[in-house]
């Protein structure tokens, strides 16, 4: 009589174990997806320093161009004044000033060229980094997509398992079900029925050495359920599996 109940309870325990594992998996998904979203943010941050540097160089370039413009305006004014000077000394002085400005413009133009070269290199660097990052973002998105569909699948499986569990429980003698639930509520690992080996006289759940009488009774009566005197779990002979 107990033989069938042992089979039913073992099936119930197996189902509970699968439900527990799936629930754990389902509860981990949100954290896993959040971590992936974080990874995406980190990838995008890699561009920040290049973007900052580009901005800085562009504004330096603009400042220098304005500088050149100002100097050119000054040269134009000097050229107008050259037509109206009265003395040679004044004339030479204006020419000297004009020459200085022209030299300064050349220097600034050299610097602008240097900046433009840096800008070009940085733009290239940015392009290849962007490509790399986009590839990574695509991979991460794929992984998120996979996790989402795995979550949906797990949820459906869980629903099926729960209704299976309900049906299994209905078929079992209520007296054993309530005992099973009581033990399950007290143990943390979900192991309600511990199987006893014919060459090891310990409870495999709490590791206490079983009293010799109990041990031999378990082995002699594989169709019966016993109770571990230490942890309170069901014990039965391994012959049942
Ligand atoms: Zn035990």
DSSP-assigned letters across all residues of 201-218: -B-TTT-PBPPHHHHHHH
Residues of the chain with CATH 1.10.287.1490: 26-165
Whether 1 has a pLDDT exceeding 60, the answer reads no
Q: How far is the CA of 207 from the centre of ligand 1 (A)?
A: 6
CA of 203 to the centre of ligand 1 (A): 5
**Cα(71)–Cα(3) distance, rounded to whole angstroms?**
103
- Is the pLDDT assigned to residue 55 strictly greater than 70? yes
Strands 193-196 and 234-237: parallel
Q: Mean of the pLDDT values across residues 64-81?
A: 97
Task: For residue 203, give the nearest of 212, 214, 192, 195 by alpha carbon.
Answer: 195
Spacing, Cα 225 to ligand 1 middle (Å): 13
Question: Which of these, 219, 225, 190, 205, lies nearest to 5 by C-alpha position?
Answer: 225
d(CA 115, CA 127): 18
Instruction: Give 116-168 pLDDT, tens digit per residue.
Output: 999 999 999 999 999 999 999 999 999 999 999 999 999 999 999 999 999 99
Average pLDDT over residues 75-85: 94
Distance 71 CA to ligand 1 centre (A): 94
Phi-psi region of 232 (alpha: psi -120 to 50; beta: other; left: phi over 0): left
Does residue 240 register a pLDDT over 70? no
Q: Which pair of structure tokens corresponds to residue 191? A: 């192991």
Q: What is the CATH number of domain 26-165?
A: 1.10.287.1490
């Amino acid at each position: 009589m107990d033989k069938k109940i042992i089979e039913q309870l073992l099936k119930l325990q197996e189902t509970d174990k699968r439900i527990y594992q799936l629930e754990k998996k389902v509860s981990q998904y949100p954290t896993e997806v959040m971590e992936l979203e974080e990874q995406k943010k980190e990838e995008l941050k890699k561009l920040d320093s290049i973007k900052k540097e580009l901005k800085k160089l562009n504004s330096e370039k603009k400042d220098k161009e304005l500088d050149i413009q100002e100097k050119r305006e000054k040269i134009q004014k000097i050229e107008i004044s050259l037509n109206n000077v009265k003395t040679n000394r004044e004339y030479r002085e204006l020419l000297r000033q004009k020459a200085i400005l022209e030299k300064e413009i050349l220097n600034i133009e050299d610097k602008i060229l240097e900046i433009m070269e840096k800008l070009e290199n940085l733009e290239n660097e940015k392009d290849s980094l962007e490509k790399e990052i986009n590839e990574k973002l695509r991979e991460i998105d794929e992984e998120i997509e996979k996790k989402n569909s795995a979550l949906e699948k797990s949820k459906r499986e869980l629903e099926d398992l729960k209704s299976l569990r309900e049906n299994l429980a209905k078929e079992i003698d209520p007296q054993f079900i309530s005992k099973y639930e009581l033990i399950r509520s007290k143990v943390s690992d979900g192991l309600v029925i511990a199987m006893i080996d014919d060459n090891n006289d310990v409870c495999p759940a709490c590791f206490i050495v079983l009293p010799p009488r109990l041990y031999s009774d378990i082995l002699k009566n594989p169709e019966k359920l016993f109770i571990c005197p230490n942890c309170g779990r069901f014990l039965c002979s391994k012959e049942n599996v």
